[in-house]
Structure 1
Amino acid sequence: MSDTRSRIAAAPRVVVKVGSSSLTTAQGGLDPARLDALVDALAARRTAGSQVVLVSSGAIASGLAPLGLGRRPHDLATQQASASVGQLVLGHAYVSSFARYDLRVGQVLLTSDDVVRRAHYRNAQRTLSRLLALGVVPVVNENDTVVTEEIKFGDNDRLAAMVAYLVGADALVLLSDVDGLYDGDPRRGDAHRIDEVAGDADVEHVRADEPGSDLGTGGMASKLASARLASTAGVPVLIAAASDAAHALGVADVGTAFAASPRRLTPRRFWLAYAANPKGRLRLDDGAVAAVVGRRRSLLAAGITAVHGEFEAGDVVELSDSRDHVVARGVVAYDAAELPMLIGRKSHDLAPEHRREVVHADDLVPLRH
């Protein structure tokens, strides 16, 4: 067994994400047998000594049958209404199923605002940590009853990656109706499953752009993006089929394993890179890109060629190269209105109050392409 799979199998704290299609019937109702099978695997992992956080989709899908809806609604208001009913259905099902093992569960509903805002981020972190310390299995979901397009995660795969970092998880397991990452569409018969992903080079040829199921939102593209996010942040990841949950949470000998980056980002750098909501963008010349990304230097006004967006000093902005590819994020030290008169100018040509760095190296995170 590879070192990555061994780390996942032995992880003291693991986040597990399960998709809607793995918990519901084709008609949209919650499938008790599937849910119980998942809980069996989670409880076995708890018995083996690991702490477990479950990120569960299925609230909207669970509300369809009680409301007499034949398919997942497209309008936001009906989705929220379905989630309002479905959260209770899903929560009760988890309480009952985990009770078979004398395990308690606690529901945690999040929006991306809870991760983007630093104060909310710390509150969510404390709540989850305390639940784990009390022996509770946290069941996390996006708060679909109030979420809007502006503050939604987009899918629970990304939410799971964020939660994995938030709680300091030692592994992330993404369960769905696909048994791993393939180099093509597995429904066409000529695709091959990728067993291990050591780095970006192993997935550069992969086209994982098929849509999600009718009952969910996350296809393989979202799982690949979330696996790369978590592994870059230092968390090993396993993508596997929900039907293989016992193996995925046991010896981890199924699915596709993603090796973790050897260095885990600090909480502040992770927030800058993946959680913060950028308010604008600065375009850099080639020399500034080399300094910021290659040598991890501060960004000076001389290296900026254009300013986009409305932002204030202390906001997070994206830094892009001359082709508008985002190469870094950082906390800007100037308001957007101040920068146009400074860009392209050497520090010694500026007034003393404008000679400070535009983005200091301590507040800057290079991003991989």
Structure 2
Amino acid sequence: MGVIIVPAPPGALRVPCDQRAVQEAPMPRPSVRRGTALALSALLLPVLAACGGSDSEKNGKETEAGEQKGAEKLVIYSGRNEELISPIIGKLEKATGTDVEVRYGDSAELAAQILEEGDRTKAGLFFSQDAGALGALSQAGQLAKLPQKSLDKVDAAFRGGEQDWVGVSGRSRVIAYNPKSAGKVPDSIHDLTAPKWKGKVGYAPTNASFQAFVTGMRVLEGEDATLKWLKGLKANGKTYAKNGAVLDAVDSGEVSLGLINHYYWYEKVAELGEDKVNAKIHFLPGGDSGALINAAGVGVLKNGGQGAAAEKAVDYLLSKEAQTYFAEETKEYPLASGVTSTVKGLPALDSLDAPKIDLGKLESLQQTLELLKKAGMV
């Protein structure tokens, strides 16, 4: 039995799939609400139909999934891109003896759907491209405690404080630079607001990974300092829709510096060869806010009624096979102990000087969107 993908109803607005963990897609601009659950619900309303599918479609797919007698069934709500993870989902299905149904969409929107569904949710596992969405569900009491043996596979920095979600793969924020025009590369994102960089910094303000980084900066440095920095960056920078476009602009010399996730550079090098790529990347030292390491991760839904199958899926995603897949195919950092990346030139994860932050606190996206509006970025 292959992986089942539930489509949106005919004519419904389709939820944008991950597009490289939805980091390439502009984030929605919901109205400001108080409280995480309300904020995520606001994100949900325009896309609920696209995430769900009609009852007849669901029943038909469920019947198809049940044809393989004796197999467990698991519904995954995935904020990670279908093209990116469908190969590993297929391997998960085979390794665990589980029939898997996947619904793809934006992580924040799927988290909002889970909150809306409550104890009626059909999902057994939430696979988020961002720790913030997992933190929101944890805060709302929607995630089940994970077995200690599963938690112990991942450093405490990359799992939930309530022991109810765990990171699967990691990505570091970096500064991409063009050696021909950048000169000495800054060691802090705060240096990017200096007059010397006016018109020379590329960034993607509507991008999910940029917004997660700004959320981290808010948590670490406070609202006022972050707003001041955002205004300074806007005065100096050039905006792009995607991380990939930022890197291309640096590579071509259109800008000297750019804010991206590390794997974009490694993917470009793997595709073209390092000698064909002008841009380089700089991992920031000193626990700078710009060196945030975010995690894609998973949590078992408390109300999904699929706990056993979901826990097997968690353990598979932390297995050597799955972790090697993320290391080699997506150029992300494997987070399970005992597995290291073999990507040429990629610094070891434990060598990075990332800021100390509870990744679950990245759930406060709504406040970040408000701050970006104040700065005139969205």
TM-score, normalised to structure 2, is 0.28
Higher relative helix content: 2
TM-score for both structures, normalised by structure 1: 0.29
Q: Which has the higher contact order (CA 8 A, sep 6+)?
A: 2
| Structure having the higher Rg | 1
